[in-house]
Structure 1
Amino acid sequence: MLWSDFRTNSKLVLNSSDEEYDKFSAEISIGSQQFTPLENQKILGRSSKNCAKNSFEHIFSTDSFDKKARTVESLISVCQLTDNCGPQCKSLETVPVNNKTTDIEVSASATYKIMPAVERNSPELCTNKDSVEKYICTEGMATSNWNPTLLLNKLYEVSYEPRKESKLNRFTNMEGHLEVPVDGESIYAELQKNWVQKYFRTRDGRLQWFASHFADDTPVGEILLSGCEVDANRDENALYIHGGKSHIRMMLRIPPGANVFDKWRKAMNSHAASSYLDTFVNPVYPPLPHLTEKVAIIELGSCSMRAGVLTMEPSLPQSFFPTIVLIKDDGTFIVGGDALLPENRRKGELIRPLRATDISLERYIFHRSALKACLKKCVDDLKIDPTNYRVLLSIPQNIPTALIADLLKIILEEMCFQGAAISRQPSLVLYAYDVATGVVVDIGDCVNIVPVIDGYVVDSAIVSLPCGATQIISALQTKLMESNCGSYTFQSSVEMLISRYVMEQACFVAVDYEEEVKKCANNSCDVDAVVSIEEFEPTNEMMSSFKINSARFAATEGLFKPKRWGLDTKALHQLVFEAVQSSPIDSRKTLFRNIYLAGGISLLPGLAERLELEVASLVAPSIHTQVHLSPWRYNAAYLGAQVIASSTQFDQTCITLESLSDFLNHLQNSFF
């Protein structure tokens, strides 16, 4: 039995007696893809009756988690992890199922789709500290004595204030006369000979109709278009609306000779593709630790780490800090913001303990002791005793299996957590949006595009590329160095924080790049921005403000024109298009209108609008594209991890110290 796990993007093959697994082995073939029906799945180490569809409850009391998509998909077992980055290989692990012995064969086949120009070799894992990425130690005189604590507090602030979105043109509105069948209960055009005209208007995800176009704003009736399907029949000039939250069934006909068929179709689709206002998970303040379930959530990233405990309601991380470690001359470690204090950063070597270092290769650097120090800081910040907690570890998409094994050893053997489970971050994002189907576009230090259909990752359609924020900041730094008269090199640790702050405050994605260039040429003042760092108490030698013009949008243009970054790869919208086209044909229409953004770069103004327009330019006019934004998308993977950890079966899916040895043997064999 082969199935793909929504949370770990892994493949699992269960070999057992025909009698026990025959009824679970049915697969559905859709094109070149293989899916196993939800009700035919068996969770590792648990009987089918305990994981039947809709058979468990969630700890969260909020209604937003009580959805059909929250069936066995809410469970995660680190046993299901395989290495999606390495060559195909197999291994066996024996675990108990229904008090019997079952062999688990894990296929670690390479499933990521990488552009030809960025084709990678087998992933490398480097644990030699001499190869770990280091910050340039030489600082300019201006910043040598500067304390960046205030800036760090700003960059790593955890706010429960919803982000105000700048996305424009969420809806395409339309109004005018449409024809409806005389018998409003029937939707079959061939049975209807008589039609009557009514005045219709689309507004805020709804379709309203009025007695006449002279009527006031009070409609005679309305339906909720959000979530509906809109089928167009140009031959009959008809639009068929069906589905949605209220199970709508309605037929409309555009009057002959009106020549507005495409406009009405576009307007209907824009409203039908809109999200319900309450679909995404909303964090609740203050975060109250759960009374009975003790689960720690740690999100591991190459640039930052988040940590928190499972709470009674969804919450944001209680610890958020940069993944920076100072290795002092005596061998001790200082982690996070304290490592950048002026009295500390000159006493040792600053490193980033985990990072993909090469654009063309999936090569990871890994300093084990430094990474352990980061995990230890998470525990210290949360003020918890690991021996009383289980942990859910959220990891980047392309972390190789060898690193997963080391992480488990650190967590279970050295830090003594009760149990551990691991999930990959892009797969957690859809949980934060509270949907089961869509394309996750996670843009941070790397780009990950992950299509998911009814809770299943489409392995062959995943796109992963190790570039993103670094290239934007590098392009911005070039412009900043040209205008700051040599005060900054933007190469040292604290100077890179300044360039990141400038990017977050000033940069945006041009919806129409050529138009922005013309605007800048005609009157640069229209696009100029001044970013001040006065509030962060710069030294007298430091420049306290930066003026930026065309670099505001030129630095980000590489997302859609990679050659501006010196990369011979496909653009972001092309990658999204190819990911959807590689998915089953009957799901593509749904995927195009359910694109979900996550990651730090997704906060850039204009990104959603530009991506929506660029993807729309690649598809047929009859297909509607929609990019969705959650105001909490910066912490989407963490919120998704809270949903996973809220399952009442979570403790049964964790690896414990007792089962660690056998599991590590399985991981080692599958990787090598």
Structure 2
Amino acid sequence: MNGTAAEESNVLKDWDPKVLLKSLYEISYEPRVETKRNRFIPMEGHIEVPADEVTKADGLDNEGWMKQYIRNKEGRLQIFATHYAGEAPAQELILSGADVDANKDERTLTIHGGREHVKYYCRVPSALFDKWRQSFLSHCASSQIDAYVKPIPRAFQHLTERVLILELGSSSIRAGVLTTEPSLPQSFFPSIAVRTDDGKIIVGEDAYKPEIRHNGHFVRPIQAIDPSVERYSIDKEVLEAVILKVIKDLRIEPFKYKVLLSIPQNIPSVLIGELLSICLNDIKFQGAAITRQPSLILYAYDVTTGVVVDIGERLNIVPVIDGYVVESAIASIPYGSQQMGDSLRNSLSASNKGLYSFQSPIPEDYQKEEKGENRETRISLDSFDTTPGMTTRFDIDNSRFLCTEGLFKPKKWGLDTKGLHQLIHEAILQSPIDSRRVLYRNIYLAGGASLMPGLAEKLEQELSTVVPNTIHTQVNISPWRYNAAYLGAQIVASASTFEDSCISADKLPKFIAQLQASSF
């Protein structure tokens, strides 16, 4: 539904998708169940450690090693006095947050650091080296499993600060007032409007009503004129209508509130002055601040260093070190969810299975899934108030795997560019050399397309094909990553420094002049 009424099929002409949209834009405080979380790799057996607790620096020969029986279990290294896993370990080390240095030629592994400053040095059988390494890595990563901001339902409005958080996404608008504890958006709707033939602007879900969409054309508040070269334009009337809808939804008076605008990474600085002018001069907010979403996403993960991989209508890969974006290493590519939908739609049309697109899982073993016996899944649209003549039940075959594979093999989408894993690898290589190891193990997913089951596992698997095996790569996923930038914006808005980052209408001209001379 991104065209005019003339482009609509007769079957869909009278369909009102309000029930479907309500489902898609539901605010739920139920955390997503993730397959990757708590995914420890258990391992136990005999290894060798330096005799008499001497260190690697002492240059031991083969006679300087002694056998030890160990077990990795739930983020801990258990050491047994016997040659098997007895009832209780003689020693137990907490692995959470530790680093693993691997030397495959010498078959040695050094585990050091972490919450308890652990130091453990061992030598493992050559045939089991990779298995032991992966096991240690999985348990050392356990400290980050719960490192993210958790939203609290029924949070109260902030006691002293009145701040509106407004996220302008390419597909969705999220908004809410600052609360005492982090919370999810209170207003959430499609970033779309219809400009009717008589000049009215209808925003959000209402734009999709048959009587509205048949009598006008769809427009966006921020439109990509040519995404491939980062050209954008603001439709001032539509953006004002979006903000007024938010104000109505939240029942607030703009002049009593400051606003924090959260914008995508790829919106050029030249448009920021226009955005602020609309908020301060036209809507009359008390003050305004503006920030880009990648840094906010890291705040939602409760970290300040990492690689943000934001997958929505566009793919943005943004390395951030100690809160500062590595501008020269950013990769922003004009493909993502739209290509997945198009690929699935074309594939289903070719096999006469329908014209709809659905959330698609990412298979860890693509070839295995593609050849698997159970390649079809049944889809039902009966609960979405369909009209007579609409296909409501049909099977989707292995197209659901094929349509996502373009993320890693863009040629499957007809694109001449590099895969997601290669782009991340290159972005890190363009970052400062002393931060690269940290960035490899701090990759954070966000965006609607990042919700696909198995994406984190698949990405780690593909990264292992381009990253040296001495470097640990880890993809982190929060159950709340769909709203990560919004959660991060609340952290920023509640900080004591937020007041200083706001500007008022009278200071806007000076700010715009400074903006034009900077690289915000």
Question: Once the 2 structures are TM-superposed, how far is the Cα of residue 585 of structure 1 from its aligned partner?
Answer: 2.0
Match for residue 509 of structure 1?
362
The answer as to whether partners of 2:362 and 2:458 remain within 8 angstroms in 1 is yes
Q: Does 1:341 align with 2:189?
A: no
Return the alpha-carbon distance in structure 1 between the equivalents of residues 406 and 272 of structure 2: 32
Question: Once the 2 structures are TM-superposed, how far is the Cα of residue 646 of structure 1 from its aligned partner?
Answer: 1.2
Letter of the 2:144 partner, please give it: Y
Question: Once the 2 structures are TM-superposed, how far is the Cα of residue 171 of structure 1 from its aligned partner?
Answer: 3.2
Question: Once the 2 structures are TM-superposed, how far is the Cα of residue 240 of structure 1 from its aligned partner?
Answer: 2.3
Q: In terms of mean alpha carbon deviation, does 240-249 or 188-197 score higher?
A: 188-197
| Matches for 1:457-476 after TM superposition, within 5 Å | 457-476=325-344
Q: Does 1:429 align with 2:429?
A: no
Match for residue 197 of structure 1?
67
Question: Once the 2 structures are TM-superposed, how far is the Cα of residue 484 of structure 1 from its aligned partner?
Answer: 5.3
Letter of the 1:368 partner, please give it: K
| Unaligned 5+ runs, structure 1 | 1-132, 491-498
| Matches for 1:515-534 after TM superposition, within 5 Å | 515-519=368-372, 523=373, 526-534=374-382
Return the alpha-carbon distance in structure 1 between the equivalents of residues 211 and 351 of structure 2: 30
Higher relative contact order (CA 8 A, sep 6+): 1
Among 172, 177, 184, which residue is 1:309 paired with?
177
Return the alpha-carbon distance in structure 1 between the equivalents of residues 484 and 134 of structure 2: 30
- In structure 2, the CA distance between the partners of 1:347 and 1:306, relative to structure 1 (3 Å rule), is same
Among 302, 306, 310, which residue is 1:438 paired with?
306
The answer as to whether partners of 2:69 and 2:85 remain within 8 angstroms in 1 is no
Question: Once the 2 structures are TM-superposed, how far is the Cα of residue 170 of structure 1 from its aligned partner?
Answer: 3.3
Return the alpha-carbon distance in structure 2 between the equivalents of residues 233 and 513 of structure 1: 30
- In structure 2, the CA distance between the partners of 1:441 and 1:275, relative to structure 1 (3 Å rule), is farther
The answer as to whether partners of 2:38 and 2:145 remain within 8 angstroms in 1 is no
Identity %, equivalent residues = 53
C-alpha distance after superposition, 1:353-396 (max 9, x if no partner): 32324353222243111111111111211111111111110001
| 1:375 counterpart SS class | helix
Return the alpha-carbon distance in structure 1 between the equivalents of residues 140 and 518 of structure 2: 45
Q: Does 1:375 align with 2:252?
A: no
Q: Does 1:285 align with 2:153?
A: yes
Q: Does 1:321 align with 2:169?
A: no
Match for residue 434 of structure 2?
586
Letter of the 1:329 partner, please give it: D
Return the alpha-carbon distance in structure 1 between the equivalents of residues 32 and 104 of structure 2: 41
C-alpha distance after superposition, 1:513-572 (max 9, x if no partner): 2223322xxx4xx01012111001101121112321021111111111111111111111
| Matches for 1:600-615 after TM superposition, within 5 Å | 600-615=448-463
Among 134, 150, 156, which residue is 2:25 paired with?
156
Question: Once the 2 structures are TM-superposed, how far is the Cα of residue 266 of structure 1 from its aligned partner?
Answer: 2.9
The answer as to whether partners of 1:326 and 1:348 remain within 8 angstroms in 2 is yes
The answer as to whether partners of 1:270 and 1:624 remain within 8 angstroms in 2 is no
Letter of the 2:73 partner, please give it: R
Match for residue 225 of structure 1?
95
Question: Once the 2 structures are TM-superposed, how far is the Cα of residue 174 of structure 1 from its aligned partner?
Answer: 1.9
Match for residue 175 of structure 1?
44
- In structure 2, the CA distance between the partners of 1:622 and 1:216, relative to structure 1 (3 Å rule), is same
- The alignment's TM-score, normalised by the length of structure 1, stands at 0.73
Letter of the 1:516 partner, please give it: E
Return the alpha-carbon distance in structure 2 between the equivalents of residues 134 and 355 of structure 1: 13
- The alignment's TM-score, normalised by the length of structure 2, stands at 0.93
| Unaligned 5+ runs, structure 2 | none
| 1:620 counterpart SS class | coil
| 1:199 counterpart SS class | strand
| 1:142 counterpart SS class | coil
Letter of the 1:336 partner, please give it: G
Match for residue 36 of structure 1?
none
| 1:586 counterpart SS class | helix
- In structure 2, the CA distance between the partners of 1:175 and 1:336, relative to structure 1 (3 Å rule), is same
Return the alpha-carbon distance in structure 2 between the equivalents of residues 234 and 537 of structure 1: 60
What value does the CA root-mean-square deviation take over the aligned residues? 2.4
The answer as to whether partners of 2:163 and 2:178 remain within 8 angstroms in 1 is yes
Match for residue 62 of structure 1?
none
- In structure 2, the CA distance between the partners of 1:207 and 1:463, relative to structure 1 (3 Å rule), is same
Return the alpha-carbon distance in structure 1 between the equivalents of residues 94 and 225 of structure 2: 48
| Matches for 1:398-413 after TM superposition, within 5 Å | 398-413=266-281
Letter of the 1:320 partner, please give it: F
